[in-house]
Chains A and B, each alone.
Chain A
Amino acid sequence: MPELVIRNLWRGFSSGGGLRDISFEVEAGEFFVLLGPSGCGKSTLLRLIAALDPADRGAIDIAGTRAGHGAVAMVFQNYALYPHMTAFDNIAFPLRLMKLGHDEIRRRVAACARTAGLSIDLNRRPAELSGGERQRVALARAIVREPRIILMDEPLSNLDAQLRASLRVELKRFQRDTGRTVIYVTHDQVEALALADRLAVMRAGRIEQIGSPRALYDAPANEFVASFVGQPPMNLVRARIAPDRKSLLAGDSVLRIEPPAGAPDEVILGIRPEDLSLDADPAKVAIETTIERAEFSGARFLVVARFGSAYLLTESVEPLHTSERRRFYFERSRIHFFDASSGRRIPWADPSP
């Protein structure tokens, strides 16, 4: 039974933006990520679920009950810890409102602090804590009331990169240990792919695609999802289908790829950087490129190659030189087709393995 059901949710702003006809379900115990660029409505949606703002139309059902406080807790981007209270009082605040006994509060705060990985003196105030510690206090406060759903609004975005990576791991462990449903908002697709059981990619107030990270990565529903999910992003190249429908014209080249049935004349080809290879293979499609730039990035070089008027991003182990002519190879089945006018994915007729 789904923990959260959202049906035909609308929310408008006079300034534009807002949400347009959002519907989805989240299962109990799921780590659900809302991913999208800033201004796409993901935080707006989170606030509606938290009942901080009203919806214009539509329904939000949380495990059969209406949205409202009690069922959900939230971890804010800036943690929103009460600066005049100690860490203990911050975590105990929801319990005091429930008028629980002194010992009961003490016991539950200690338990939640442990779950959140807090090993500090709880008599300190937020101003005396590090970013990571504040984060953990906020997590402990969110679970102390045992809500059905925990909402998280970019909780890692205020931390430095190193801490973010380690806290990401901890966050996932935390969610698994508590078994709570988490709805997590982020604009960082690396974070989204790493954390999510399922994710929804949003743009301009709409959900573009919902699915597992693997599903979104392997079969993006449209050009936007294709470019947004994956790092480095998928290469997108405009192409025309040749009149004989046996090959494609892209840049100045003719590619021996038979387009999927039902493709319009104008398409966008998508190819992930990691699917491009320098190893010659007659079974694969070859494209002729000019190396534009190769940036050293540790184990590999990040390569920008020019193909016609388009630029392709890829990675290589060997150093490449600017203006060098190189041939890249890729498998036909790794190519994604999108309708050039609507951006929608054009599936292969028989799903290739």
Chain B
Amino acid sequence: MSRREVSMPHGAGAAFIRRVAALAIVLGAALPIYLLLKQAVTPEIESFAWPPLWLPRRVTAAHLESVFTVVEFRAAIIRSIAVALVCGVSATVMGAMMGYAMARSRWGRRAGMTAVTATRLLPMTAVALPLALAFILIGLYDRPSAIGLALVHSALALPMTALVLFPAFLAIPLELEEAAFLDGASPLRIFMTIDLPLARAPLAAAFILSFILSWDEFGFALLLQVTNRTLPPLLYYYTVFGDVGAASALALLMMIPAICVLVALRTVLRGALMAGSLR
């Protein structure tokens, strides 16, 4: 009797309650997205209406259009994509090398782990100002190409990609490398033809994660790209200075990669699990 009391409530009534609770959670998560969508497609006057309007009265495409026509927006979109791509590629390439060193040498593992944790110890704000100064001195500050910011994002993403790829390389049996060595392959060749292809799924995951990290990054972007902005600071400015419609449209646009990643990551991660049996 007492045992039954501590277990999960069950029966038809309990199932109903559970379903309602689940629905409430989903609605709670979906509501802000819905409001964003509504603000993006309705005139601003409706966004500030009191009492709030839950359903749009009038629909306009002006905000969404502005995202693609206003030069500042267009430039920011292209800049953000470029920075995120550079960050994704360079952090994945460097992370692969670092993760491989960590997987294959004891010294590499110790050095890598120390480096990863040590960078986590530093508050980013403490680094930001000296970094901005240094960038001004060497001419990387607020460049239209945002190459300086891309470098910073790569450095931010590197510990993460290394940590994602280290166990992936660790899971590749050493025997495969030894076989390739006896087949006459050089160490670089072994890395390129055996390890990298076998770590394909984790490499994709590392790329996606570092792309998103850069895409969302706000602090350094705000400080280092004061005029040639990327999307997060631009969105911030539009929110602060009151263009809610345009800001909402921009925010919607920024969600697209996140949604793509969510879908892509699921298939990639499933693939990574399937590839687990390397024998």
A interface with B by C-beta (< 8 Å): 50, 52, 69-70, 72-74, 76, 78, 80-84, 93-94, 97-98, 127, 141, 145
Q: A74 contacts B197, CB within 8 Å?
A: no
A-B contacts, 7 listed (Cβ < 8 Å): A69-B182, A74-B178, A74-B182, A78-B173, A80-B173, A97-B183, A97-B184
Whether B181 is near chain A, meaning CB under 8 Å from some CB there, is yes
Most buried by B among A69, A76, A82: A82
Chain A nearest CB: distance from B169 CB in Å? Answer: 14
Q: How far is the CA of A80 from the CA of B71 in the complex (A)?
A: 56
Contacts of B175 in A (CB 8 A): 76, 78, 80
Contacts of A141 in B (CB 8 A): 179, 183
Q: How far is the CA of A84 from the CA of B277 in the complex (A)?
A: 11
* Residue in contact with B181 in the complex, picked from A52, A81, A83, A98, CB distance below 8 Å: A52
Q: A97 contacts B185, CB within 8 Å?
A: yes
* Residue in contact with B198 in the complex, picked from A50, A78, A83, A98, CB distance below 8 Å: A83
Contacts of B193 in A (CB 8 A): 93
B interface with A by C-beta (< 8 Å): 173, 175-176, 178-185, 189, 193-194, 197-198, 200, 275, 277-279
Q: How far is the CA of A203 from the CA of B268 in the complex (A)?
A: 48
Contacts of A98 in B (CB 8 A): 184
Q: Which residue of A lies closest to B274 (CB)?
A: A127
Q: A84-B198, A97-B185 are in contact. List 7 more A-B contacts (CB 8 A).
A: A50-B182, A52-B181, A74-B179, A80-B178, A82-B194, A83-B279, A127-B277
Contacts of A94 in B (CB 8 A): 183-184
Chain B nearest CB: distance from A32 CB in Å? Answer: 18
Q: How far is the CA of A84 from the CA of B201 in the complex (A)?
A: 12
Chain A nearest CB: distance from B179 CB in Å? Answer: 4
Decide yes or no: A80 and B179 within 8 Å by CB, A97-B189, A127-B277 being known contacts: yes
* Residue in contact with B278 in the complex, picked from A72, A83, A97, CB distance below 8 Å: A83
* Residue in contact with B183 in the complex, picked from A52, A93, A127, CB distance below 8 Å: A93
Most buried by A among B189, B200, B279: B279
Q: B176 contacts A82, CB within 8 Å?
A: yes
Contacts of B173 in A (CB 8 A): 78, 80
Q: How far is the CA of A25 from the CA of B239 in the complex (A)?
A: 82
Q: How far is the CA of A102 from the CA of B159 in the complex (A)?
A: 42
Q: How far is the CA of A93 from the CA of B179 in the complex (A)?
A: 10
Q: Which residue of A lies closest to B278 (CB)?
A: A83
Q: Which residue of A lies closest to B279 (CB)?
A: A78
Contacts of B194 in A (CB 8 A): 82
Decide yes or no: A93 and B277 within 8 Å by CB, A76-B175, A78-B173, A84-B197 being known contacts: no
Decide yes or no: A69 and B198 within 8 Å by CB, A80-B173, A80-B176, A127-B277 being known contacts: no
Contacts of B279 in A (CB 8 A): 78, 83
Q: Which residue of B lies closest to A50 (CB)?
A: B182
Q: How far is the CA of A83 from the CA of B171 in the complex (A)?
A: 13
Chain B nearest CB: distance from A251 CB in Å? Answer: 50
Q: How far is the CA of A141 from the CA of B278 in the complex (A)?
A: 18
Chain B nearest CB: distance from A24 CB in Å? Answer: 21
Q: How far is the CA of A300 from the CA of B200 in the complex (A)?
A: 56
Q: Which residue of A lies closest to B179 (CB)?
A: A80
Q: Which residue of B lies closest to A47 (CB)?
A: B178
Q: Which residue of B lies closest to A77 (CB)?
A: B175
Q: Which residue of A lies closest to B178 (CB)?
A: A52
Chain A nearest CB: distance from B8 CB in Å? Answer: 40
* Residue in contact with A70 in the complex, picked from B184, B275, B277, B278, CB distance below 8 Å: B184
Chain B nearest CB: distance from A135 CB in Å? Answer: 13
Contacts of B181 in A (CB 8 A): 52, 69
Chain B nearest CB: distance from A12 CB in Å? Answer: 18
Q: B183 contacts A145, CB within 8 Å?
A: yes
Q: How far is the CA of A94 from the CA of B186 in the complex (A)?
A: 11
Chain A nearest CB: distance from B164 CB in Å? Answer: 19
Contacts of B184 in A (CB 8 A): 69-70, 94, 97-98, 145
Chain A nearest CB: distance from B195 CB in Å? Answer: 10
Chain B nearest CB: distance from A105 CB in Å? Answer: 13
Chain B nearest CB: distance from A249 CB in Å? Answer: 54
Q: Which residue of B lies closest to A83 (CB)?
A: B278
Q: How far is the CA of A93 from the CA of B177 in the complex (A)?
A: 13
Q: How far is the CA of A255 from the CA of B183 in the complex (A)?
A: 60
Q: Which residue of B lies closest to A93 (CB)?
A: B183
Contacts of B179 in A (CB 8 A): 74, 76, 80-82, 141
Q: Which residue of A lies closest to B181 (CB)?
A: A69
Q: A93 contacts B178, CB within 8 Å?
A: no
Contacts of B176 in A (CB 8 A): 80, 82-83
Q: Which residue of B lies closest to A138 (CB)?
A: B179
Contacts of A80 in B (CB 8 A): 173, 175-176, 178-179
Q: How far is the CA of A78 from the CA of B178 in the complex (A)?
A: 12
Q: B183 contacts A72, CB within 8 Å?
A: no
Q: Which 6 A-B pairs have the closest CB atoms?
A: A80-B179, A94-B183, A80-B175, A97-B184, A84-B197, A74-B182
Chain A nearest CB: distance from B104 CB in Å? Answer: 14
Q: How far is the CA of A50 from the CA of B193 in the complex (A)?
A: 21
Contacts of A70 in B (CB 8 A): 184
Contacts of B197 in A (CB 8 A): 84
Q: Which residue of B lies closest to A70 (CB)?
A: B184
Q: How far is the CA of A157 from the CA of B185 in the complex (A)?
A: 27
